[in-house]
Amino acid sequence: MNALYSEPEHRGYYIEELKVGMTAFFSRAITDADVISFSELSGDTNPVHLDEAYAATTPFNGRIVHGFLSASLISAAIALQLPGPGSIYLSQNLSFKAPVRIGDMVEARVTVQEVLPERSRVVLTTVCSVGDLVVIEGEALVKAPSRAV
């Protein structure tokens, strides 16, 4: 077993249990170390994320977090809670609404929009927020585990 994996606190939901309106959350404060690690892992070394002097000359007036780092919290909400362990991401669309700053607490929220039981699929509305400010909106298609398998 991978040292990074631990048993989830919540087993998640089977497709047969999912209902429109069900919601789950995952939140995390994004640190400078997170931004540097993401930059190293992804290869995205855009100075707007890494160089304060450069970023100060941009419309953002300072460093911002990679959009996909913030969006990755959606994956955690899906994988850990809704539908949960055993779910498989099939697609995701995203609209980036506002920048995230280092130190911001980002909350990812996923909400069941539609259940497609014949193929064990679920459509989720996905939103990331910093406080009351929506920073990312989108929609995901996920394959949920089934009791029938």
CATH number at residue 112: 3.10.129.10
- Which tens digit of pLDDT belongs to each residue from 115-144? 999 999 999 999 999 999 999 999 999 999
Q: Would residue 5 count as lying in a domain?
A: no
pLDDT at 7 over 70: no
The domain tally of the chain equals 1
pLDDT at 16 over 80: yes
What is the rounded distance in angstroms from the CA atom of residue 58 to the CA atom of residue 32? 19
**Domain enclosing residue 109, as ranges:** 15-143
One-letter amino acid at 130 equals V
3-state helix, strand, coil split of the chain in percent (to 5) is 25, 35, 40
Q: Would residue 63 count as lying in a domain?
A: yes
Q: Would residue 92 count as lying in a domain?
A: yes
Q: Would residue 20 count as lying in a domain?
A: yes
Q: Would residue 117 count as lying in a domain?
A: yes
Q: Would residue 8 count as lying in a domain?
A: no
Q: Would residue 35 count as lying in a domain?
A: yes
pTM of the entire structure? 0.91
68 φ/ψ angles, rounded to the nearest 5 degrees = -75, -20
Q: Would residue 148 count as lying in a domain?
A: no
